[in-house]
Amino acid sequence: MLETIQSIRTESEVFKIDNLEDLDKYRIRFLSRNGLLNELFEAFKTVPSEQKKQFGQVINQLKNDLQGRFDTLKFKFEGQGQADAQEALDFSLPVVPDMVGSRHPLTIVRERMFQIFERMGFNLSEGPEIEDDWHNFTALNFPLNHPAREMQDTFFVEKNPDVVLRTHTSSVQIRVMEQQKPPIRTISPGRVYRNEAISARAHCMFHQIEGLYVDKNVSFADLKQTLFHFVRELFGPEIQVRFRPSFFPFTEPSAEIDISCLICKGKGCNVCKHSGWVEIGGAGMLDPDILKNCKIDNEEYSGFAFGMGIERIAMLKYQVRDLRLYTENDIRFLSQFRGL
């Protein structure tokens, strides 16, 4: 056995290797499945047990030496090939201009919204997209028979009624209130999912940004002024804003926020349903039970919450008539936002 090992070592040392072709022959001869080293390991199985330790160390050393020479020469030859390729470049050829990409319109709008709310003192909070029933429904005052809990409105994970793809980022607000003490001023952006038919105005997956403010003596006037300032900052001073009474399980009183349609300038189009107004979100004062569910004293603190769809905001800002364009990755559409 020792003579065989020494014979393989001697042959490997005198094996001439001048290029990658020779190196591949070296690999086949010594390191391949049918190579000498593999034959040596097969023969090692017949060695008596008391001699396995002695021969095993010698064979492993030979393997390391063979593999080490192969790796060293491979690195050397491949490096030479790259250098030769660089020398072969023709630097007199005209330069190919770099094609500058563009940010996605939803990214542009989301960052602009962050900037506006950040200047008003809001910080950023995020949470999981797969939520439990407590944070997505129960803690937000959704009754057990509420339609949002049904399969036709919500995506359930593995048919588990207690685990869902979140239907709003209000679940993040519950997590924030559970973990922090007032005053709280935060916005929660992210993807949300609803079992809806995909159309020009709706999608089963979209993005929301929701705001929360909890402190002493927070009023509905604070909510209105916050949203009024946000809309004017984002769309310009000429935009019109109105609040319509509404109902949400987690706010009371509640309102829906409308702005004058930027696409038709109030004349009427398919986006505003020929009304001249477009809803951009919902808002309201936090129901005292929400604060109680999060172990916040609802006698001492009050708060407001609001939520908006980023796709809807981007649709109005850039006058996009079909929400599906945001997810189709059409380069003709996306390239229009280059440089923004």
Question: How far is residue 336 from each of residues 5, 313, 325, measured CA to CA in Å?
Answer: 69, 17, 12
Contact 213, 185 (CB under 8 A): yes
Contact 154, 137 (CB under 8 A): no
User: Can you give the pLDDT of all 340 residues of the chain as single tens digits?
Assistant: 677 778 888 888 888 888 888 888 888 888 887 888 778 777 777 777 777 777 778 878 888 888 888 888 887 777 665 555 555 666 677 776 666 778 899 999 999 999 999 999 999 999 999 999 999 999 998 888 777 767 668 888 877 778 999 999 999 999 999 999 999 999 999 999 998 888 877 788 999 999 999 999 999 999 999 999 999 999 988 889 999 999 999 999 999 999 988 877 777 777 778 888 888 999 999 999 999 999 999 999 999 999 999 998 998 888 888 888 998 888 889 888 876 6
Question: What would the CATH number be for the domain defined by 105-337?
Answer: 3.30.930.10
pTM: 0.67
Break the chain down into helix, strand, coil percent, rounded to 5: 45, 20, 35
Bridge partners, 258 (sequence order): 242, 279
